[in-house]
Structure 1
């Protein structure tokens, strides 16, 4: 186990900067997830730590060792790839044991340790099979076992669950988290799936344009996004972001809807954020807002509402869907503490969540 440190690391390809001044620490034993859209630099950062990409400037340390210029084999890291990268001619046992065999560990010892790892991963009945005879989830567990057997200082995961179906993704990420908790090895995990990031991580690093936009626990990032980029990226469905004018605790949308946000220090143009889970539609014949789409998802529904020309999204529990159907008129209100205010020009957060918010029924301001 070891603490990992990126110290002002940059990566450029000619004039194109991919990672810019990355200054980040992964505490010993932590599970850190880099999350962000395609092209944000998350995979490049992981590959620099693995030694698969060179560093343009800055340093990377693992524990007290500067590994910036070391070859991948000398860094004491193990990597699990998106495509599993198993040897098709080897059995499960032999695939897991391969790193030890490459390190000249005696065959009987390597295979014995591989059997123990396979048993811990629920693969004990499959050790004689070859990869083609395994499901996607089983293949991924073999790849994880091959990484575990090395007992590295750091685990690296490059979108390892992307090729699995939804059910297997949930099962495998649970297994992966249990393994990491049991072994206590420092992990760096890359994904574009923000739900996966929130489920797995001790610390989330939301990447944007080659640098962290926000670093924190999943709860911190979700509850207090530092800007509109993080606010819209983290959370599904994404946060409603509305242009508004704030004065005396009231936000007024361009369409005339008046929104009471309680006492705030901000004045003038803002971007108002309300998460769909916090926005509550209530049937009302005299309301101006109209339901335009209902997407049923078992215990809940995603409801799209036209609020006087401004489209907003709400998540509603199935038990509260009475009277809410496409074409229905609804009043909109939001739960206490649900308002997030951002600077309209820079997108930066202005303050913490507010005490109250109420979208009045189309009252002209």
Structure 2
């Protein structure tokens, strides 16, 4: 096991910069998740750590070793890909054992270790099957087992669950988290799914246009987003953002939107309100109209429109007797985030 340090790392393809001034430390035994929209540089960052992309600037260390110029095979890393990359002609046991066999480990010892790992992954009854006889979730667990058997210093995961259906994704995510905690191997995980990032990470790193927009424990990033980009990217449904001025504890916009938010008066402010914190009150004279109700079991996602602003709220299903499509409601906020309207940066950071 080892820590990982990116120091002023950059990557450019010709004149196009993909990653710039990346300063990031993965502490020993941690699970760090890079998340962001397509093209933000998260996969390129992971591939530079793996040695699959050459670094244009800066250095990368694994523990005390400078691995910036080392070949992938010399970095003591194991990588789990999106497409499983299993050998179709080998059994589950043989696929898992392959890294040891490649290092000339005795066949009996390699297969014994493979059987132990297969059992820990719930694959004990499937060790004689070929990949074509497995489900997507089972194939991904074989790929994870093949990475585990190497006992690397660092695990790298490149969107490993994106090919699975929703149910399998949740099940495999839970198993992956359990294994990482059990093994205590430093891990870097790349995903575009912010829910996956929040669930898996000790530390979440939100990237935008090749730079870190915010990094920290997932709860902190959710509760105190550094800017409007992070605010709307982390959290589902995404945060409501409304531009206006706060006067007498009420946010007012030029188009007539009014939301009770409390707090001091401010000018040129963007108010952010999580859907869980936007309170709808049945009111015949209310400023908003209910446009859409999406029932999700005990809760519902309500879309309302006030003037030209569309807002989202999450309410208990029991409230739907009064909050129906076409009903008018008043708006207030239980908790608000204030951002500078010009820069998008958090005002109380």
Q: TM class by shorter-chain length?
A: over 0.9
Following the alignment from structure 2 to structure 1, what is the Cα–Cα distance between the partners of residues 45 and 118?
A: 30
Give 1:248 deviation, angstroms.
5.5
Distance 1:220 1:273 in 2: 16
Cα deviation code 1:264-293 (max 9, x no counterpart): 3x6310111001111121222222311011
2: distance between equivalents of 1:51 and 1:45?
Answer: 10
Question: How is 1:1-365 mapped onto 2 (pairs within 5 angstroms)?
Answer: 1-247=1-247, 249-264=249-264, 267-335=266-334, 338-351=335-348
**1:125 CA drift (Å):** 0.1
| Deviation per residue, 1:79-110 (Å, 9 max, x gap) | 00000000000000000000000011010000
1:320-365 Cα deviation digits (max 9, x unpaired) = 2221111111112222xx110100000000016xxxxxxxxxxxxx
What's the CA shift for 1:250? Answer: 3.8
Please tell me whether the aligned partners of residues 33 and 201 of structure 2 are also in contact (alpha carbons under 8 angstroms): yes
Aligned-partner Cα distance in 2 for 1:270–1:331: 21
Per the normalisation by structure 1, the TM-score is: 0.94
Structure 1, gaps ≥5 residues long? 353-365
SS at match of 1:321: helix
CA distance in 2, matches of 1:92, 1:200: 26
Could you tell me how far apart the structure 1 residues matched to 2:257 and 2:243 are?
Answer: 11
- Between 1:204-213 and 1:318-327, the stretch displaced more is 318-327
Whole-angstrom CA distance in 1 between matches of 2:310 and 2:260: 19
CA separation in 2, counterparts of 1:271 and 1:199?
28
CA distance in 1, matches of 2:251, 2:289: 20
Q: 3-state DSSP class of the match of 1:180?
A: helix
Corresponding residue pairs, total: 349
CA distance in 2, matches of 1:296, 1:249: 32
Task: Tell me which moved more, 291-300 or 154-163.
Answer: 291-300
Mapped to 2, the partners of 1:270 and 1:99 lie a distance apart of 56
Give the CA deviation at 1:247. 4.3
Q: Are the structure 2 counterparts of residues 116 and 74 from structure 1 closer, same or farther at C-alpha, using a change threshold of 3 Å? A: same
Gaps of 5+ in 2: none
Query: Structure 2 CA distance, aligned partners of 1:233 and 1:171?
Result: 24
Residue 321 of structure 2 aligns to a residue whose secondary structure is coil
Describe the shift of the 1:294–1:39 C-alpha distance in structure 2 as closer, same or farther (beyond 3 A). same
Partners of 2:142 and 2:18 in 1: how far apart?
32
SS in 2 for 1:90: coil
* Secondary structure class of the residue paired with 2:54: coil
- SS of residue paired to 1:230: helix
Q: Assess, with a 3 A threshold, how the Cα gap between structure 1 residues 317 and 250 changes in structure 2: closer, same or farther.
A: closer
Is the Cα–Cα contact under 8 Å of residues 276 and 315 in structure 2 kept in the other structure? yes
RMSD: 1.1
- TM-score, normalised to structure 2, is 0.98
